Amino acid sequence: MEDRFKRQGMISWHELMTGDVEGAKKFYAELLGWGFQEFPMEEGGSYWVVKVGEEEVGGIMGTPPDAAGVPPHWGLYITVDNVDATVKKAEKMGAMVLVPPMDIPKVGRFAVLQDPQGAAFAIITYLAEM
């Protein structure tokens, strides 16, 4: 596993959530030369891993039903040693929990926070066997 997936504080993943996955894939493939690899999601639909050559650098996903109305946006994931402990610390420091800690099957545990200035970001602890 690469260092960015296991070292506290590293920005490890970038993800686009959009209502037009195919349009986004076409745009970024033509603009930047990105490739994509499809991964079916357990709850239905597909997750598209963004690849630069053979390196996986991010993902694209459709807007889930519980996020209807949220505009398309890029988000980032920051690796932490312990998601639950980091959420508790962030709340004490004035952050708001937008998505509580939950597991992503075969990936790890994550949460989405909003810092005291209003910027949203995700934190994640990856499974060791990734």
| 23-39 pLDDT, tens digit each | 999 999 999 999 999 99
| 43-66 pLDDT, tens digit each | 788 999 999 999 999 999 999 888
Q: What is the DSSP letter of 92?
A: H
Which among 75, 53, 58, 74 is positioned nearest to 4, based on CA atoms?
58
User: What would the two tokens of residue 43 be?
Assistant: 């709850």
Compute the distance between CA of residue 77 and CA of residue 61 in angstroms, rounded to an integer: 14
Compute the distance between CA of residue 53 and CA of residue 71 in angstroms, rounded to an integer: 29
Amino acid 2: pLDDT:
78
Which among 110, 39, 40, 34 is positioned nearest to 79, based on CA atoms?
110
Domains of the chain (ranges; CATH) run 3-126 (3.10.180.10)
How many CB atoms sit inside 10 A of residue 50's CB? 23
